[in-house]
Amino acid sequence: MSVDLPAELDVWRAVAGRRRFSGTLRLSALTRLRSMLGAGHDCDGLVEYLVSFDRDPLAGDCVELSVQAVLPLQCQRTLENFALPVKFVQRLGLIRDEEQEQGLPGGFEPVLVPESGLVAVADLIEDELILAVPAIPVKPGGEAVEASFGPNQEERAQASPFAALSALKERR
């Protein structure tokens, strides 16, 4: 069922009703993510999502996020802009307090739900996209750049105070 994602929704009611939401969000609307993409980037892209609330026999109340987007980034090696396709499925365990986190099985990330039960699901999607942005974006297939710090071997030999003595010794 394709329904617009509300600004906030009661996750406990969504779980009880096994609600599903699918649609798109504009990258430009995700302000925290947009600040990571840097200035001058085209943020007109869309994020496609499918959000499914359910009860897992082991994890309890949970939500599954299926997200697909193309993130405009700047390569930190070449300073060229490039598009990074991102596609993931993330399962989140909905918990009421931090003690419940220990009871979540592997593969579930905890989400601490406030007492009101209201959560901005768009923020959950944005959080996962932020985690998908590499710490140092590098354009795939870009040229490898060799880092050379300091003098090379020839420069070190010339700078050595004993280089002159070595040259005298070789003349003998």
| pLDDT tens digits along 10-19 | 999 999 999 9
The model's pTM is: 0.75
Contact 37, 43 (CB under 8 A): yes
Distance in angstroms (rounded) separating the CA atoms of residues 95 and 117 = 10
**pLDDT grade for 2, boundaries at 50, 70 and 90:** very low
100 φ/ψ angles, rounded to the nearest 5 degrees: -70, -20
Would you say how long the chain is, in residues?
172
Please give the distance of CA 142 from its chain centroid, rounded to a whole number: 21
Q: Where are the domains of the chain?
A: 9-146
Dig out the tokens for 105 from the structure: 């099985």
pLDDT in tens, 59-98: 789 999 999 999 998 888 888 888 889 999 999 999 999 9
